[in-house]
Structure 1
């Protein structure tokens, strides 16, 4: 059987200070009245080094050369467009939210709607969306929107401190289709649509060539009878005009993206499908998760970004990196929660099976959350702690000298740079840099690790983890010889 190959990746960031404030109000956060004072401007989020790494304008490894805190060391002349994707302002995202809504639940004030849609039509990727080219024919005045907010329990949409629209309930009696839930679901859909549309535009793959979409976010759409029935995947395919595609959602908390990559690779390798997309949109419930702590430390509120990605897995072309489906690492039920046992299952077992040592992996990428977001909570740099566990495993196996641990961690550990969106940091944002570095013959192998907190669902006390290896295409070595 042919190896599945990584053909392309894209990433998207959406600056959402208005949605952040909305979340704080919905949750009744005691500090919500202070948030506006610490919110970042769009220009500042574009210049923020981790965000530039996320969209591909610098390697995550380069962050080690930029003094911290990064929010005090902005990058001059930074651009919103990057090698892998783009950073979008909130007003454009509200326009996108409107275009992917097929049930008339997102209502925008007519003047704002016309202006933002005109702006989106000039975008090289999003301008191709049928919801942008053929927008809904409805007009709402500010007075009508205000009436829906005051009397129909609609959720206001605000940007720049002013109300520009609202989101209505999907059903009068179903709490699972409340305006807040509809907003959560459409936010995940719209951000994933942005990422997939960017990927199609960047790679030149035609929408009708997509066979299957696996959606791996942390949301679960449904109604009172089927609370997580789905399907985000097929709705995203529809929005992006992938007329020949089907799809389904995969859920495993933060580990879902790597499960999705494994499934995509298996579907391609088996010959069932040729072009499979793994996508995930952002989670607005995670916005401002640690905002109170950031305010206490007199920091900007850094959790003001939605993250999204799309990954294209296809048949081996003899050039692109392959996914080693024979070397999948998985946290089995019997592992328990011992870190040593977990990393033996995730790292040691697949490497041993492939005849590799710990240091044969050029980069490990797992839980890539930006440390500036997490460290103020007292958790430390989670990303780096994971790499220390891997290095410790190498010491126990006699493959790394104890005195070389820090050197090896600095060599193979990808620093955290992703927004704190749960599923988004779990290894996948490094797929783009990994592919490029492998194609440039600078590295040979990367291990992507996803970890998930299954215990949050109160069905088990277990958590989950899974890993896979990206590797230089062996056909390139055969051609060289």
Structure 2
């Protein structure tokens, strides 16, 4: 039987301090243009936590609104507030910065993460009030250090500072004196990634209604890499996050594929469960610190708030078929092969048209397509346009070419089969998977039959190949009842063998009579 989606968690961590001090656009600008206008002005364009929570796309991401509701909101979104916005949603939460720093400190296993003791005292109760934060996690938060100790580590270059409301409140120290893979900058990025994954795992467990002990395996598909000089991407984020989240019976490993990573990981998880290797697998993707404020220069230049102020994270639980949950159909997989090429029509053809054709389906048999779900509020001012819309136009054009759609249907295709982008622009985070939670709900409620998740990646960023990458898969309504009523392949083989044996026996009997 097919594997099913048991539950999911989607979280945002509001981190303007990390954005202003550790985002790659800002750190690069400090090197190449330290006296530029952007660095002088960016502080004036930072949103408050309240504005971040009331931002429509953020509320959609954590499940307090459906993407179809966002479609009705007049674009742009940044100046429209979500009425009665909540920190918590049915999929996850938007965690305030102070609490997230404490959560990240609890993820430190090598005493490299320091927080000032007054800061810890002021905010630990706030973290404790979060319903998914366990006592074990709270017990890992240390009492804190003297500010003078933190200042000394930052001033002598041993550590990256941590800032809250423009004040130094902590630091992340390097884990090795000369290994750049264990530098303070890398350790900070990796610990923040790990912490955001932990938060998403905790919400996914709550939403799925399962115990941490039920999880057998974890696959991390983030864009970060942890290791040392001898194995710079050796891993393992998956097991590291599982430890803090209390998944005591789980093992795991990391899977990497740039933006396509989550779709690869989801297919791997579904295959592991269907094969019987593991009963319950969690796919996780944590936030990417360097991408905070990535398009900030364009936002500041155009008088907008710096909208990339949150670390995104997700967790999806894939488990054995329970007869009711939405399934992952491994018989309908799209894949961008080595020979596919980089032309957009070839990419979409390999990921969308080819798998549907092999299954005897067309685009009309898929209720919604979820490709790169970047929020256009962020990408349009930066000149990247509306990324989801560009994908839907290509899918529709290909469908017309194949005779699946009439030209007159081009304009309505994106509204009927597409989604409005709402995810943070953190590479792997928006790549198809943000809609998995909604897809599960809509399919199980009988509102949809099939949803296609499409992950695409740019492998050339690693300077190892010029190839693109991508895979796609179908989420569908549960078919366990149909499979139970049908004859299995093994039973078919036995029936054929029996029929052949009976036939041979009848022939011998007739020969004997003759």
| TM-score relative to the length of structure 2 | 0.91
Give 1:263's aligned residue.
Answer: 268
CA distance in 2, matches of 1:287, 1:123: 24
1:78 to 2:79 alignment: no
Is residue 321–residue 480 contact of structure 2 (8 Å, CA) maintained in 1?
no
Partner of 2:212: 207
CA–CA distance in structure 2, aligned partners of residues 313 and 140 of structure 1: 41
Secondary structure (helix, strand or coil) at the match of 1:399 reads coil
In structure 1, list runs of 5 or more residues that go unmatched: none
> Shift of the alpha carbon at 1:243?
1.2
- Tell me which of 210, 220, 227 is aligned to 1:222: 227
Alignment of 1:209-358 (within 5 A): 209-358=214-363
- Offset at residue 144 of structure 1 (A): 1.5
C-alpha separation in 2, matches of 1:359 and 1:407: 12
CA displacement at 1:204 relative to structure 2: 2.5
The 5 A counterparts of 1:78-97 are: 78-97=85-104
Residues 61-460 of structure 1: pairs in structure 2 closer than 5 A: 61-126=68-133, 128=134, 130-136=136-142, 139-460=144-465
1:267/1:129 CA distance change after superposition, 3 Å: farther
Name the counterpart of 2:10. 11
The Cα of 1:222 is off from its aligned counterpart by 0.8
Distance 1:173 1:409 in 2: 52
Paired residues of 1:121 and 1:133 also in contact (CA < 8 A) = no
Pick which of 3-12 and 17-26 moved more.
17-26
Shift of 1:378: 1.9
Alpha-carbon separation, structure 1, partners of 2:157 and 2:16? 24
Q: Please say if residues 372 and 431 of structure 2, whose CA atoms lie closer than 8 Å, have aligned partners that are also in contact.
A: yes
Q: Shift of residue 34 of structure 1?
A: 1.4
Instruction: Tell me how far apart the structure 1 counterparts of residues 324 and 144 of structure 2 sit (CA, whole Å).
Output: 50
Q: CA deviation digits over 1:322-372, x for unaligned, max 9?
A: 101111100011011112222221111111122211111000001000011
Q: Report the Cα offset of residue 32 of structure 1.
A: 2.0
Q: Say whether the 8 Å CA contact 1:129–1:240 is kept in structure 2.
A: no
How far has the Cα of 1:134 moved from its partner?
4.4
User: How large is the Cα RMSD of the aligned pairs?
Assistant: 1.6
Give the counterpart of 1:54 among 61, 64, 67: 61
Structure-2 residue corresponding to 1:27: 28
Q: Which runs of 5+ in 2 are unaligned?
A: 486-514
Q: How many Å apart are 1:153 and its aligned residue?
A: 2.4
- Give the C-alpha shift of residue 478 in structure 1: 8.6
2:477 corresponds to 1:472:
yes
Deviations 1:391-450 (A, max 9, x none): 111101111110111112210001110001000000101000000001110111000000
- On the 8 A contact 1:434/1:446 being kept in 2, the answer is yes
Deviations 1:94-147 (A, max 9, x none): 000110111111101112113322222222101x152313433x5411112111
What is the distance in 1 between the residues matched to 2:39 and 2:211? 44
The higher radius of gyration belongs to 2
Q: Kindly indicate whether the alpha-carbon contact (under 8 Å) linking 2:333 and 2:355 is maintained by their aligned counterparts in 1.
A: yes
TM-score (norm 1): 0.97
User: Distance in 2 between the 1:134 and 1:17 partners?
Assistant: 24
Structure 1 runs of 4+ aligned residues shifted over 4 Å read 476-480
CA contact 2:103–2:141 (8 Å) conserved in 1 = no
